[in-house]
Amino acid sequence: MTLTKNYRCDKVVFEEKFLRPILNQCSRYLQYFSEPEIIGRGTYGKVYKSMAIHKETKKLLPVAIKVFQILDQTDFQEVEKTYFMSNTNLGPSLYDSFFFVDPTPEQYTTQVMIMQGFDMDCSSALQDQSISIKDKRYICYQMLELLYFQVYQHDFICVDIKPANYVYDKNNKIVRMIDFQQCIIQASTKIRKDFKHIVFSISLLHLYNLV
């Protein structure tokens, strides 16, 4: 699926209570969204899960929908970073991205990103009793592997590194990174050689009694 650019949707005025019809009307690549169910909220905004049909392939896809306010230009950069991570297979696929400018004098801007859906974050996965120790080891291995690739192959670093910022596909046993708002692009040599990653790696394994 090829994402074009983040675009301004002027078809409707954004109201979160009408999220499902708004998604169906504004998304360029997906249609027939199921009723979104909220799965997370914070200072970053809200995240919903849903199902949708891809317009070309007609496949039913699990999706995660992130809705947040644009406060300054750096918030738009999160979309660019998410798209970059999607192309490098470090993050979930970014299916679509669009924003709304409120017609009121304040002109609040609301950003919507539609991404590949996953079953749970890795913090929950590592505490899930239904997941075997072997699979938990593989989850940790993938988290560390993604850390290595982001720093040493793609020349950037995500500052907010924690198990909750990784997601897990239980059926396919795939781990991906999320939340790229605090990513540093073109990280310096000093940062890339920082031993914080080594400390994190050892701490993570000991934390979940996997070594």
- Give the torsion sign (CA, 159, 162, 165, 166): positive
Residue 156's pLDDT band, with cuts at 50, 70 and 90, is low
Beta bridge partners of 101: 109
More confident residue, 100 or 210: 100
User: Mean pLDDT over all residues of the chain?
Assistant: 81
Residue 128's pLDDT band, with cuts at 50, 70 and 90, is very high
Provide the percentage of residues in the chain whose pLDDT is more than 70: 74
Residue 22's pLDDT band, with cuts at 50, 70 and 90, is very high
pLDDT for 195? 44
**Is 210 exposed, middle or buried (CB count within 10 Å of its CB: 0-12, 13-18, 19+)?**
middle
Task: List, in order, residues 6 or more apart from 120 with CB less than 8 Å away.
Answer: 128, 167, 168, 170
pLDDT for 200? 59
211: pLDDT strictly greater than 50: no
* CB-based contact 122:145 (threshold 8 Å): no
More confident residue, 174 or 81: 174
d(CA 194, CA 59): 43
203: pLDDT strictly greater than 70: no
**pTM for the whole thing?**
0.78
